[in-house]
Amino acid sequence: MTALATPPPLTGMFPRLLTAADLAVLPSELPSGPVFWELDNGRLVVMAPPGYIHARCEPKISKQLMIQGEERGLGLVCGEVGIMLWRNPDRVVGADAAFIANQSLPARLSPEGYLDTIPDLVVEVRSKNDTQPEIDHKVNDYLTAGVRVVWVADPAAGIVTAYRPGQAPQVFGPQDTLTVDDVIPGFRMPVRDVFAV
C-alpha cells in the first residue's frame, strides 16, 4: 500500500505518540471512502487502498503460499494482516501476505487483534506511488523485528526482490521461478504468474 502522507507532527491533532490500542479504534470508512492506517513508531500513517494490479498480485501469491505451504502442513498463511512489530513506541504494519512456519506457531494476537507473532515470510506488493526510501524503511523494520524473508513484488518492473538479514537482496526476474526453501521447502512460483492480470 502507498503512504498518502508523512506522519503528522507530535503537536496539534496528535499531541502524543499513538498506540496499537488507538489504532484499533480508528474508523475503516470515512465519508470519502475506505481508509487504511499504520503506526510508524507511534506516528499515524494513512495508506491508500490498493489499486487493481496490486489487488490482483496479492491473492496470487497468497494462494500459492496456501497450496504449497499451509496445505502441506508447513505453517499458516495470512492475507492482508496487521502485524505488531514492536511496542513503545508501537510499530504496526499492514502486510499484503504473511507466512508463519511451524516453528513459530502457535500464532499469538495482540490485545488489539493484530498478529503479535513475527512471521517468517512477509509479502509486500509495491504500489505505483511507493518510493524506494519508503520500501527500504518498511523492509528494514520487518527484518529488524525478526522476519526471515521479505518479498517485495514490483508490478511495474515485473520483479520480486527477496530481502534477508545480512544478505544482499535477491532479484527474481520475469523468466525466474520464485523460491523460498529456507521457509517453505519446495515452494516454486514462476514470477510471470505473480503479475499475470
Q: What is the pLDDT of residue 13?
A: 56
Residue 28 lies in a domain: no
pLDDT exceeds 70 at position 131: yes
Contact indicator for 103, 133 with CB cutoff of 8 Å: no
- Count how many domains the chain has: 1
Residue 17 lies in a domain: no
Q: Confirm whether pTM is higher than 0.95.
A: no
Write the CATH number for 104.
Answer: 3.90.1570.10
pLDDT exceeds 70 at position 5: no
Residue 78 lies in a domain: yes
Domain extent, residue 100, equals 50-194
Quote the cell numbers at residue 188. Answer: 516454486
Contact indicator for 78, 119 with CB cutoff of 8 Å: yes
Percent of the chain with pLDDT over 70: 92
Residue 20 lies in a domain: no
Quote the cell numbers at residue 14. Answer: 496528535
Q: What is the pLDDT of residue 6?
A: 43
Closest CA to 58 of 114, 127, 124: 124
pLDDT exceeds 60 at position 8: no
Contact indicator for 68, 75 with CB cutoff of 8 Å: no
Residue 6 lies in a domain: no
How many residues can be counted in the chain?
Answer: 197
Q: What is the pLDDT of residues 135-151, one digit of tens each?
A: 999 999 999 999 999 99
Q: What is the mean pLDDT of the chain?
A: 91
Residue 43 lies in a domain: no
The neighbouring-strand residues paired with 3 are 47
Residue 27 lies in a domain: no
Backbone angles phi, psi at 193, to 5 degrees: -70, -25
Ranking 3-17, 22-36, 49-63, 109-123 by mean pLDDT, the lowest is 3-17
pLDDT exceeds 60 at position 11: no
Q: Which DSSP symbol is given to 104? A: G
Contact indicator for 79, 97 with CB cutoff of 8 Å: yes
Residue 76 banded pLDDT, cuts 50, 70, 90: very high
pLDDT exceeds 70 at position 14: no
Residue 130 lies in a domain: yes
Euclidean distance between the first and final Cα of the chain, in Å?
A: 18
